[in-house]
């Protein structure tokens, strides 16, 4: 058979030819290939849209697109819509989806990858202040190896500029002893910091 060699064949994905891929000297990848490469596990086109992940997802009710719909949108090369959606920032990485998936598609890892790609693309987070919360959470872990809620919330407030929205609840929890200023520090903090150093460029 003659003609251009098709490099990508997957359900719902537009195929690239060798000429497409090297157009203008640029080595192009499909959105699906980019995501699969970063997941580095089970290819997401193994999804057959049974929706078990979506049925079990505790946050699907609030998401702009259901988890299995995000898989479909990646296959349909809807990169701008996926990276600009609130869904990827609402995912809590609880991993309910992968425990339910009959095909071992790692939706939680996929959401992680999509968040990384959204930041790398300069788009940030659609959900207001979610990125500030992520950064405050990680800064607290890096500093102490554990979460210290009061310090993390102060950091979050400074990063987000959202000073008063839940002030009443914070004071109430503090008065009831639910927030401690002196949470213990992880003994082996050096190992935690090495993990951060090793993963910062991944």
- Residue numbers of the site for ligand SF4 (CB under 6 A)? 47-53, 57-59, 67-68, 71, 91-97, 100-103, 105, 107-108, 111
Which residues, 6+ apart, have CB-to-CB distance to 88 below 8 Å? 70, 82, 111, 114, 115, 118
For residues 87 and 148, which CB has a smaller minimum distance to ligand SF4 in the complex?
Answer: 87
We find the least distance from the C-beta atom of residue 60 to ligand SF4, in angstroms, to be: 6
For residues 112 and 149, which CB has a smaller minimum distance to ligand SF4 in the complex?
Answer: 112
Tokens encoding 18: 């060798």
CA distances from 145 to 102, 107, 139, 190, 196 (A): 35, 26, 9, 9, 11
We find the least distance from the C-beta atom of residue 180 to ligand SF4, in angstroms, to be: 28
We find the least distance from the C-beta atom of residue 108 to ligand SF4, in angstroms, to be: 4
We find the least distance from the C-beta atom of residue 107 to ligand SF4, in angstroms, to be: 5
We find the least distance from the C-beta atom of residue 40 to ligand SF4, in angstroms, to be: 17
For residues 103 and 129, which CB has a smaller minimum distance to ligand SF4 in the complex?
Answer: 103
For residues 105 and 152, which CB has a smaller minimum distance to ligand SF4 in the complex?
Answer: 105
Residue 14 phi, psi (nearest 5): -70, 130
For residues 73 and 97, which CB has a smaller minimum distance to ligand SF4 in the complex?
Answer: 97
């Amino acid at each position: 058979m003659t003609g251009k060699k098709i490099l990508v064949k997957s359900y719902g994905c537009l195929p690239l030819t060798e000429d497409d891929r090297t157009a203008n000297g640029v080595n192009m990848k499909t959105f699906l290939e980019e995501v699969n490469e970063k997941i580095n596990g089970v290819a997401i086109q193994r999804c057959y849209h049974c929706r078990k992940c979506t049925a079990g997802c505790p946050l699907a009710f609030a998401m702009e697109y259901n988890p299995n719909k995000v898989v479909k949108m990646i296959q349909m090369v809807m990169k701008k819509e996926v990276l600009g959606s609130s869904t990827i920032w609402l995912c809590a990485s609880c991993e309910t989806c992968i425990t339910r998936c009959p095909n071992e598609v790692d939706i939680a890892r996929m959401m992680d990858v999509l968040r990384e790609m959204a930041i790398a693309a300069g788009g940030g987070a659609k959900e207001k202040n979610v990125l500030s919360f992520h950064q405050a959470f990680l800064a607290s872990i890096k500093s102490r190896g554990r979460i210290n809620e009061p310090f993390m919330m102060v950091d979050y407030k400074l990063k987000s500029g959202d000073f008063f929205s839940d002030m009443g609840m914070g004071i109430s929890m503090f008065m009831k002893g639910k927030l401690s200023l002196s949470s213990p520090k992880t003994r082996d903090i050096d190992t935690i910091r090495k993990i951060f150093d090793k993963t910062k460029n991944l």
